[in-house]
Amino acid sequence: MAALGGARRRPLFLLLLAGLLHGTAATFVVTDGNGTACIMANFSAAFVTIYDTRNGPTNVTFDLPPDAAVLNSSSSCGKENASAPSLVIAFGRGHRLTLNFTRNATRYSVQLMGFIYNLSDTQIFPNASSKEIKTVESATDIRADINKKYRCVSNNQIHMHNVTVTLHDATIQAYLASSSFSKEETRCEQDGPFPTTAPPPPPRPSPSPTPETPSVHKYNVSGANGTCLLASMGLQLNVTYSKRDNTTVSGLFSIDPSNTSATGSCGAQLVTLDLRSSRIHSLLFQFGMDPNTSQFFLQGIQLNMTVPDARDPTFQADNSSLRALQATIGNSYKCNAEERVEVTEAFSVNIFKVWVQAFQVQGDKFGSVEECQLDENSMLIPIAVGGALAGLVLIVLIAYLIGRKRSHAGYQTI
């Protein structure tokens, strides 16, 4: 991966592969007033960020550089019943990665990860339309038993609105009993477990009560050049998760438009729709285009939401290599049938009565319609049934006429 000064723009679905390449791991230590270590961390980190330029939104990827260091003035070992421990890592022109810790009687965790980045840093964010300092944050799944280090060799992605941080080969420990990592460790879920014998089959998900069909709502995303996305649809999230008692359940969560805010962005090759509510921190739809076929399509979906009864209340999922809701640029895609878009094994989106058009939208109106295959098939069924009935009637009529002719041939004139 390119070093800090070699940050470059790529399409988002390629940038999210940044976790496959890793920068150099570094060690960060927070000490108290006596010089005793209370937090230690060793990892490499890669950042993927969407930001606005004069030509629309774009993407940049960069590593945590070798000269990144603990910001002692902001890091802290915490004070009992007063403040929690925190590790603040500073680099570049005012960029900060923060890990805030919390604990209970048996476990500690990174309750919140935050990232502050300075868009005026042209080395990382060339041609940024704003010079603002941005702040994003999210809960994490980083947790370990007290007096054990957290260990995760695998990539661990933390999604914070328009920023994705990927930690690799991470060792983290807070509330240290000594000034070094513990020998015992708690491994992350991404690393295993690795049983020596075949595990029993996982329990079947217990289906939750099916909610009503979600309300259909029309969404509009506009930019400097006018409307770039029109979408009319009802949305339902299908999430599989583990409850606190370790049972696996599937939950259906319908999007209520009356309690949901919608924003988005318009770019030359990427259009986004971001939905948020009290439970959903971000449901991001990304539409891309294929210049070779002159078609637009749903390219990616990212979800960050709270599931209160889950063992891990923060549920995150993303996939930026989808190919759904596809139509010719300038036309619209329409499907009255329910469509199911598989995002990950644990997350899918049920879309009802969708009508969508991305990029070239004229006069805030949908263009010529391209029907989905499901609707075309549903139209063929009554045609086939009607044809079969007509054929049956014809056969009966022919049989009747033949039978009548034969019966007449049996009479003779006296």
When the pLDDT of each residue in the chain is averaged and rounded to a whole number, the result is 84
Q: Residue 184: what pLDDT? A: 93
Q: Which of 50, 46, 45, 47 is nearest to 12 (CA)?
A: 50
- Burial of 398 from C-beta contacts in 10 A (0-12 / 13-18 / 19+): exposed
The tokens for 200 are 């029993």
Cα angle 328, 333, 339; round to 5: 130
Q: Rounded to whole angstroms, how far apart are CA atoms 361 and 381? A: 33
The domain segmentation of the chain, as residue ranges, is 26-191, 217-365
Q: Rounded to whole angstroms, how far apart are CA atoms 27 and 8? A: 26
Residues 6+ apart with CB under 8 A from 385: none
Query: 26-191 maps to which CATH number?
Result: 2.40.160.110
Tell me the average pLDDT across 277-290. 92
- Burial of 196 from C-beta contacts in 10 A (0-12 / 13-18 / 19+): exposed
Q: What are phi and psi of 166, to 5 degrees?
A: -110, 115
Q: Which of 173, 86, 100, 85 is nearest to 138 (CA)?
A: 100
The tokens for 130 are 């704003």
Q: Rounded to whole angstroms, how far apart are CA atoms 302 and 316? A: 8
> What residue type is 382 in one-letter code?
P
Q: Rounded to whole angstroms, how far apart are CA atoms 269 and 288? A: 6
- Burial of 265 from C-beta contacts in 10 A (0-12 / 13-18 / 19+): buried
Please check the confidence at residue 381 and state whether its pLDDT lies above 90.
no
- Domain pair 26-191 / 217-365, same fold: yes
Q: Which of 297, 349, 350, 374 is nearest to 328 (CA)?
A: 297
pTM greater than the 0.85 cutoff: no
Q: Rounded to whole angstroms, how far apart are CA atoms 232 and 355? A: 5
> What residue type is 407 in one-letter code?
S
Residue of higher predicted confidence among 78 and 382? 78
Q: Rounded to whole angstroms, how far apart are CA atoms 259 and 251? A: 19
Q: Rounded to whole angstroms, how far apart are CA atoms 64 and 44? A: 7
Beta-strand pair 280-290/295-306: antiparallel
pLDDT tens digit string along 185-237?
999 988 876 544 445 555 555 554 555 789 999 999 998 889 999 999 999 99
The tokens for 271 are 């259009």
Q: Residue 308: what pLDDT? A: 84
- Give the pLDDT band (50/70/90) at residue 5: very low
Q: Residue 211: what pLDDT? A: 59
Please check the confidence at residue 409 and state whether its pLDDT lies above 60.
no
Specify the fold of 217-365.
Porin (2.40.160)
